Amino acid sequence: MKSFDLLVVGDANPDVVVGPLRGPLEFGQREQLVEHAGLVLGGSAAIMACGAARLGLRVAFAGRVGDDPAGAFVRETLAGRGVDVGFLATDPVRPTPLTTVLTAGDGDRAILTAQGCLTATGPEDVPRDLIRASRHVHAASFFLMPRLARSLAAVFVLARQAGATTSLDTNDDPAGRWDRELLDPVLKFTDFLLPNAAEASALSGEAEPAAAAAVLACRGPTVVVKDGANGALVHDGTRPARVPAVTVDPVDTVGAGDSFDAGFVAATLRGLDLRSALAVAAACGSLSTRAHGGTAAQPTWDEALAAAGAGLQGVPPGANAPDSAEDPAMSRTPSTRETRSRS
């Protein structure tokens, strides 16, 4: 039996979430008041890892933080949520990334990120033995980590050779290039591509989500598109399937897409078919919006199944429990291994 259900590779940083801002942002040293501000765990990969651990998977995280208080916050928060941080490297020179998220009253948000050690994250931060020890490898924030992006195809090839499945959430490209020469070699070895509707459009050149998914599916992966209040859809290269969103009264949508990713991966690892996995993922994304920050309201597996409800098409036996952990409690026990330093 492999040591981990899921290896998550990518970004981890503190988020300062501020808002909602009811009017336009004003410069000129104007002070504007908002209702809420909080310091929470951020980074698409980190939020996804926490969501998967909350759903009962044994999760390891590979990436970098700086040797600073922000890095200590990230490490402690991940471990406190049941993620193994024994492979999270400490960069002795570059700082931990930092993000400020400014939310608006209509649910939109602006995101400002200082990349810190993200630009130095590379293949050496993803140990080969760790890849071989994992049932599934998920990567996020592709365009924020150019060194890792250039080598991610090799990471996914090794995962496939070891019998693991793979998934990728590219997230936004701040440069707006959406570089196919960089991405296409990775998609050849990606089982599931998990963009939101805007990202799918940018990656494919198609405005409509189903058309975008069809174009992207021709490049290799099964494509799963998060479409906000319209729910979500999956395209396996043959035909699309769609599920509605789960109705909630949202407090904060930060990280909802990452919780969606966690739900989809957890469901597929437990043997659910694509449409049922999509329903679980949509439930996880919606339920995560019930509190401020990306991780505070992430659901348990039972909560996700209950919310998915009629969207499930026959949950296989054993899907109500972690299907590869000998003791479910072990999936929430962080490693105490000494962490590594990288320059």
Q: What is the rounded radius of gyration, in angstroms, for the C-alpha atoms of the chain?
A: 19
Cβ(65)–Cβ(74) below 8 Å: yes
d(CA 280, CA 277): 5
Structure-token pair, residue 228: 């906000």
d(CA 231, CA 240): 13
Between the alpha carbon of residue 196 and those of residues 200, 226, 328, the distances in Å are 6, 4, 31
Residue carrying structure tokens 């996995």: 277
Active site residue 258: yes
**Region at 293 (left for phi over 0; alpha for psi -120 to 50; beta for the rest):** left
What are the E-state strand segments in 71-205?
83-84, 88-91, 98-104, 109-114, 134-140, 165-169, 192-193
Short-list 15, 4, 3, CA closest to 258: 15
Cβ(94)–Cβ(116) below 8 Å: yes
Q: Identify the active-site residue in 252, 258, 323, 327.
A: 258
d(CA 18, CA 34): 7
Cβ(140)–Cβ(62) below 8 Å: no
d(CA 95, CA 70): 8
Residue carrying structure tokens 């899907």: 319
Cβ(5)–Cβ(134) below 8 Å: yes
Catalytic residues: 258
